[in-house]
């Protein structure tokens, strides 16, 4: 009976190890996809700036103002020193 339980324990460890490898592969794939999207977004911004500079400036200004607004209106995290 103990041999049977040891077999199930080894099988559980095996599938756990496969799950850890699958998680690492999933993270690598998601990182690659996000890196491709960030690169494509930057390339689109460069093409937009070269094609129509006033539109690119307007979009950049709107994004900058939005970031400033969010930084002012979001509550700050409690300080560690306080």
* Per-residue pLDDT tens digits for 24-73: 999 999 999 999 999 999 999 999 999 999 999 999 999 999 999 988 88
| Number of domains within the chain | 1
pLDDT reported for residue 79: 66
Residue 79 lies in a domain: no
Residue 41 lies in a domain: yes
pLDDT reported for residue 82: 54
Q: What is the residue range of 24's domain?
A: 2-73
pLDDT reported for residue 56: 92
Beta-strand runs (E) in the chain: none
Residue 21 lies in a domain: yes
User: φ and ψ at 33, to 5 degrees?
Assistant: -65, -45
Residue 14 lies in a domain: yes
CB–CB of 56/49 below 8 Å?
Answer: yes
Residue 82 lies in a domain: no
Judge whether residue 81 has pLDDT over 70: no
For the chain, how big is the Rg over CA atoms in Å?
Answer: 25
Which uninterrupted H or E stretch holds 54?
helix 53-73
Torsion sign over Cα 14, 16, 20, 23: positive
Residue 80 lies in a domain: no
pLDDT reported for residue 16: 92
pLDDT reported for residue 7: 87
């Amino acid at each position: 009976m103990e041999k049977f339980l040891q077999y199930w324990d080894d099988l559980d460890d095996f599938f756990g190890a496969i799950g850890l490898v699958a998680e690492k592969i999933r993270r690598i794939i998601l990182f690659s996809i996000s890196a491709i999207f960030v690169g494509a977004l930057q390339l689109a911004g460069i093409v937009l700036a070269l094609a129509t500079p006033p539109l690119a400036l307007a979009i950049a200004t709107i994004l900058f103002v939005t970031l400033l607004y969010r930084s002012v209106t979001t509550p700050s995290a409690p300080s560690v020193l306080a």
